[in-house]
Amino acid sequence: MNFTRRVALAVGGGSGIGRATCELFAERGGAVMVADVNEASAKATAERIVRKGGRAEACGCDVARWDQVQAAVERTRNVFGRIDVLVNSAGILRVRRLEDTLEAEWNEVLQVNLTGAFLLTKAVMGVMRQQGGGAIVHLASRMALRIKENRGAYAPSKAGLLQLTRMAALEGGPHGIRVNCVCPGFIDTPMVWGSGTKEEVETQFAGWAKVCPLGRTGHPEEVARAILFLASEEASFITGAVLPVDGGRTIL
Ligand code: NAP
């Protein structure tokens, strides 16, 4: 995968899978605008890339806010001149039963995980159409395909993202815009470590390893490679696809 002369806007790039994706994209020659609601973490990712000789800038962006999404898209075009790739890794997890989920919490999760994806897609599709094409990759989840307890708002938000991906792939196809999503399984990131106490998360990791065909949790870099494959020319005939990156967990 070579991204020389390619430009990516990577939202949620300040942490976990998004950060790993930004770093790999830059390693492979691309320029990246690292965007995140946490502007300090976006800057930290960009600084890591620049220290290694790559091209990166950072900006704050709350995907739930149309004005901020538009500003991030404009900033990317102003700094790097174009947008070839959108990686949407922004997401939040709330660990709660459906029946116990408050309306405000439901709205918050849907606003970031689904409405945010819609706003980003809408904002970059016009740019990519003018340029004659582009690639969009969303981060859904195994929870879009399977269910486990305490994912009351999260699982429905990620399932919606699959249909958003397909809808955008349908509309984008005639304009050379490919839209795909990956469904990670259990990946060792700050989001997972923030979902419970250290002991609880370690127990979950051990339980996962027992039922996952590859016998372990995943690393952010392993998801990053799948994302960038879908974003690359190597995937030139793939659009509307849903790719599990989960060590085989979803076959069971
Ligand atoms: P992460 O380490 O928490 O990274 C997500 C990043 O998105 C964080 O920097 C977060 O900032 C940012 N973010 C949150 N709300 C945002 C908003 N409104 N606008 C812009 N940025 C926002 O999580 P991750 O594990 O890398 O997850 C990346 C994506 O993969 C998410 O969509 C997640 O649902 C999905 N996923 C992860 C796993 C897993 O096991 N890790 C599994 C399946 C799917 P804050 O830290 O300030 O919130």
Instruction: Parse the chain into domains and list their residue ranges.
Output: 7-187+220-245
Closest CA to 150 of 212, 105, 181: 105
* Minimal-distance CA residue to ligand 1 atom 13: 90
Q: Which atom of ligand 1 is nearest to the CA of 18?
A: 26
Q: What is the pLDDT of residue 246?
A: 98
36 CA distance to ligand 1 middle (Å): 9
Task: Provide the percentage of residues in the chain whose pLDDT is more than 70.
Answer: 100
pLDDT, one tens digit per residue, over 95-130 is 999 999 999 999 999 999 999 999 999 999 999 999
Instruction: Ligand 1: list residues with CB < 6 Å.
Output: 11-12, 14-18, 36-38, 41, 61-64, 89-93, 112, 116, 139, 141, 184, 186-187, 189-192
Sequence-ordered list of residues with C-beta below 8 angstroms from that of 29, at least 6 positions apart, any chain: 2, 3, 4, 5, 6
- Alpha helices (runs of H) in 86-219, residue ranges in sequence order: 103-110, 116-131, 154-172, 190-193, 198-211
Cα–Cα distance, 105 to 95 (Å, whole number)? 10
Q: What is the pLDDT of residue 140?
A: 98
Q: What is the pLDDT of residue 1?
A: 85
Whether pTM > 0.95 for this model: the answer is: yes
* Substitution candidate for ligand 1 out of 15, 63, 138, 162 with most atoms within 8 A of CB: 15
Q: What is the pLDDT of residue 108?
A: 98
35 CA distance to ligand 1 middle (Å): 12
Catalytic pick from 25, 80, 154, 208? 154
10 CA distance to ligand 1 middle (Å): 12
pLDDT, one tens digit per residue, over 77-90 is 999 999 999 999 99
Residues of the chain with pLDDT under 70: none
- 45 phi and psi angles, rounded to 5 deg: -60, -45
Judge whether 154 counts as a catalytic residue. yes
Please say whether the beta carbons of 125 and 164 come within 8 A: no
Q: Which CATH architecture has domain 7-187+220-245?
A: 3-Layer(aba) Sandwich (3.40)
Sequence-ordered list of residues with C-beta below 8 angstroms from that of 5, at least 6 positions apart, any chain: 29
* Three-class SS state of 21: helix
